[in-house]
């Protein structure tokens, strides 16, 4: 269900978007602790660029800037490594808001998630900044709360936990769950993401079915590949907890505008996202396939909902 909107000052007030922002507080604080205060600076730059982009188009429509763009800016920032150059982040958020939202007519009309579109654009256009600019996470208090940025890793000898798994190297699952490892700022801590997800469900700001369905699809297909003897496929839990997949399940698959509205379509949509993520990760050229899987399935949402409605109408005609 899309949030009800009310006008309030500069922004168009959206209660559900505010709940999403509140749920992201633990994830944001964790990102600062693990990677440094630069996360806040990067967030400020991204938010300014995202709001400015939407303002230009909202003004032409005689409308207000939606609070949804704040959520987009936070999620986009958390999907980046802390060392991402400011200009790259600005290019990404402007592209995402412009081509995934405004060209469709603004909030509620977009087909694709703007944050994911922006991240995917810079991932393809400037891959070195999202694949070879990792920073070592702080592990001792006060960590990044008193430091600007975590020190860079030697990427010639260090890879992300997900990339390491492809070569048969695995970090302890406990380290992956708590998040004291390298990666994009919002994706590393499963515990903090679970807190955010629980808040969203409790406040009815997200549908739990959309969170669970991709996990089921991922786990079932990964187990099938392991049982079939396919090399390089880690334990499903390790696969779900590394990379951006878990982050995507909590905050991107559940995005109300781009997700299906009918219950059967939600299950099919989520399960296929999980399966496609596994296919891209272990058979494609990209180590991280979650973003591509979501964008692929976004394109089928309208026809999936229409298909469910058509099947229901046909069944009703048969019974009557």
Taking the C-alpha atoms of residue 320 and residue 311, their distance in angstroms, rounded to an integer, is 14
Distance CA 307, CA 1 (A): 19
Q: What is the model's pLDDT at position 229?
A: 84
pLDDT confidence of residue 160 = 63
Q: Please report the pLDDT score of residue 112 as a whole number.
A: 94
pLDDT score at 1: 40
Closest CA to 246 of 166, 319, 305, 187: 187
pTM metric for this prediction: 0.90
- CA 145/CA 142 separation, integer angstroms: 6
- CA distances to 76, 173, 286, 295 from 91, in Å: 12, 35, 22, 19
Q: Which residue has the higher pLDDT, 68 or 171?
A: 68
Mean pLDDT of 17-42: 95
Mean pLDDT of 214-232: 91
Cα separation, 45 vs 212, in Å, equals 33
For residue range 63-88, list pLDDT tens digits in order.
899 999 999 999 999 999 999 999 99
Q: What is the pLDDT of residue 9?
A: 76
Which string of DSSP letters, residue by residue, matches 88-122? HHHHHHHHHHHHHTGGGTSTTT-SS-HHHHHHHHH
* Residue 171: pLDDT over 80: no
2-10, long-range: CB within 8 Å, 24+ apart, which pairs?
2/108, 2/256, 2/257, 3/68, 3/256, 5/66, 5/107, 7/64, 10/64, 10/65
Asked whether residue 156 carries a pLDDT value surpassing 80, the answer given is: no
Mean pLDDT of 52-64: 91
pLDDT of residue 35: 93
Q: What pLDDT score does 235 carry?
A: 84
Tell me what the mean pLDDT of segment 259-284 comes to.
94
Q: Mean per-residue pLDDT for 170-191?
A: 80
pLDDT at 199: 97
As beta bridge partners, residue 7 has 12
- Write down the pLDDT at residue 320: 63
Q: What is the DSSP letter of 159?
A: -
| pLDDT confidence tier of residue 264, bands split at 50, 70 and 90 | very high
CB atoms within 10 A of CB 189: 28
pLDDT at residue 166 in the model: 60
Whole-angstrom distance, CA of residue 289 vs CA of residue 282:
9
Instruction: For residue 103, count other CB atoms closer than 10 A to its CB.
Output: 13
Query: In this predicted structure, what is the pLDDT of residue 128?
Result: 85
**Cβ neighbours, 10 Å, residue 2:** 12
- Which of 177-181, 226-230, 259-263 is least confident? 177-181
Q: 56: helix, coil or strand?
A: helix
Provide the sign of the torsion angle of the four alpha carbons 105, 214, 290, 52, taken in this order: positive
């Amino acid at each position: 269900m899309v949030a009800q909107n009310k006008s309030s000052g500069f922004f168009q007030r959206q209660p559900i978007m505010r709940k999403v922002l509140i749920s992201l507080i633990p994830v944001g604080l964790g990102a600062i602790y693990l990677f440094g205060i630069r996360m806040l600076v990067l967030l400020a730059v991204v938010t300014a660029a995202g709001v400015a982009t939407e303002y230009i188009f909202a003004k032409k429509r005689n409308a207000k800037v939606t609070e949804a763009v704040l959520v987009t800016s936070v999620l986009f920032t958390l999907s980046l490594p802390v060392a991402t150059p400011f200009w790259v982040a600005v290019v990404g958020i402007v592209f995402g808001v412009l081509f995934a939202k405004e060209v469709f007519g603004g909030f509620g009309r977009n087909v694709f998630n703007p944050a994911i579109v922006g991240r995917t654009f810079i991932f393809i256009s400037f891959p070195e900044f999202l694949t070879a600019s990792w920073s070592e996470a702080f592990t001792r208090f006060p960590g990044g709360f008193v430091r600007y940025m975590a020190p860079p890793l030697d990427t010639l000898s260090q890879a992300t936990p997900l990339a390491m798994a492809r070569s048969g190297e695995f970090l302890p699952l406990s380290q992956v769950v708590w998040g004291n490892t390298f990666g994009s700022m919002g994706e590393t801590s499963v515990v903090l993401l679970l807190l955010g997800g629980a808040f969203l469900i409790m406040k009815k700001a997200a549908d739990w079915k959309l969170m669970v369905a991709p996990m089921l699809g991922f786990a079932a297909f990964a187990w099938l590949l392991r049982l079939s003897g396919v090399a390089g496929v880690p334990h499903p839990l390790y696969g779900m907890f590394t990379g951006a997949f878990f982050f995507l399940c909590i905050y991107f698959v559940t995005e109300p505008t781009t997700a299906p509205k009918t219950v059967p379509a939600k299950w099919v949509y989520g399960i296929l996202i999980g399966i496609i993520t596994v296919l891209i990760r272990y058979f494609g050229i990209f180590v991280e396939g979650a973003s591509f899987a979501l964008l692929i399935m976004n394109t089928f949402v309208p026809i999936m909902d229409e298909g469910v409605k058509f099947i229901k109408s046909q069944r009703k005609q048969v019974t009557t």
